[in-house]
Amino acid sequence: MKTLKNDILTVEVSRHGAELQSIRKGNVEYLWQADPKYWARHSPVLFPIVGSVWNAVYRVDGVEYHLGQHGFARDTDFRLVSSSDTEVRYRLESDESTMVKFPWPFVLDIAYRLHDNCVDVIWEVYNPGSSDLFFQIGAHPAFNYPDYDAERSGRGALSFDRTEGLECIRLKEKGCVDASVKYPLEMPDGIIKLEKDTFDAIDTIILEGGQISRINMFREDMSPWLSVSFDAPVVGIWSPPGKNAPFICLEPWCGRCDRAGYEGDFKEKDWVNRLAPGERFVSRYVIEIA
């Protein structure tokens, strides 16, 4: 475990999955602490896929591969590359065990940088191979609801940097979506009021096509709690359905699960990233604590 610290925040990161473990301001914990009663993770990195491939099988040039939800990076130990009081960088490189599940060489760096009241999360993917690399990558940070009380319904609210004309898609079956049906995202007064049953019927709110680039999270009295800013084409918003869970996940994705029934080539799936030999993909998102 590595600890980053400045005058405002204390952040902890584990080499297992290069996963963010804690964000504290004073004695207040903002990141979910992985109680398995609800969800036994904090903030996993999703790579080399986001979500599920149909029936846990995908195809590359006619060859079938098997890969579980969100890929393997989140369950793999990374190597520490560098660390300081305010920044840490971890690396995962392809090897024989990854090539069995994912047929491309890669170098994945995950870095966390602390400044003021913000945590920058930086992804870098390098293609050391001789052919194009196809992959997805995404975030899954879980944030504690402020002032959580299991007996009360209210959980605060969300706002975005856009309030009109938003459309979402939904999961259909086996963790995959029906992308052909768009649902208007209603935001009375420019906010989404969160209740303990908000996700019971919809499971996950998925906004694709770069519709938003910032999510703000508020207490019930509408005072700011935190925000997540990103430049990603897809974002998911999730809390475990039917569990009255104490947290919500705000998830920037450079990728997305399959369409239900998709059996085409991985290279042609929705929101896949293509990286030429010797090239580097860089993306980041920022968690800002109020």
- Cα distances (angstroms) measured from residue 51 to each of 109, 255, 270: 20, 8, 12
Integer-rounded Cα Rg, in Å, for the chain is 19
- Interatomic CA distance for residues 252 and 160, integer angstroms: 13
CB atoms within 10 A of CB 123: 22
The answer to whether 260 and 53 are in contact (CB under 8 A) is no
- Interatomic CA distance for residues 204 and 15, integer angstroms: 28
pLDDT recorded at residue 286: 98
- Reported as a single tens digit per residue, the pLDDT across 249-264 is 999 999 999 999 999 9
- Reported as a single tens digit per residue, the pLDDT across 170-221 is 999 999 999 999 999 999 999 999 999 999 999 999 999 999 999 999 999 9
Confidence of residue 135 (pLDDT cuts 50, 70, 90): very high
Average the pLDDT over 256-283 and give the result: 98
pLDDT recorded at residue 58: 98
The answer to whether 190 and 205 are in contact (CB under 8 A) is no
The answer to whether 232 and 50 are in contact (CB under 8 A) is no
Confidence of residue 73 (pLDDT cuts 50, 70, 90): very high
- Terminal-residue alpha carbon distance, the chain: 25
Average the pLDDT over 225-245 and give the result: 97
- Reported as a single tens digit per residue, the pLDDT across 137-181 is 999 999 999 989 999 999 999 999 999 999 999 999 999 999 999
Using alpha carbons, select from 166, 163, 265 the residue that is nearest to residue 209.
Answer: 166
**Amino acid letter at 91?**
R
Which residue's entry shows tokens 């090897």? 95
Q: 227 is written with which tokens?
A: 């925000």
- Interatomic CA distance for residues 136 and 175, integer angstroms: 16
pLDDT recorded at residue 180: 96
Using alpha carbons, select from 283, 279, 287, 288 the residue that is nearest to residue 134.
Answer: 279
- Interatomic CA distance for residues 45 and 287, integer angstroms: 15
- Reported as a single tens digit per residue, the pLDDT across 27-64 is 999 999 999 999 999 999 999 999 999 999 999 999 99
Which residue's entry shows tokens 């090539």? 99
- Reported as a single tens digit per residue, the pLDDT across 88-124 is 999 999 999 999 999 999 999 999 999 999 999 999 9
pLDDT recorded at residue 239: 98
Indicate yes or no: pTM above 0.85: yes
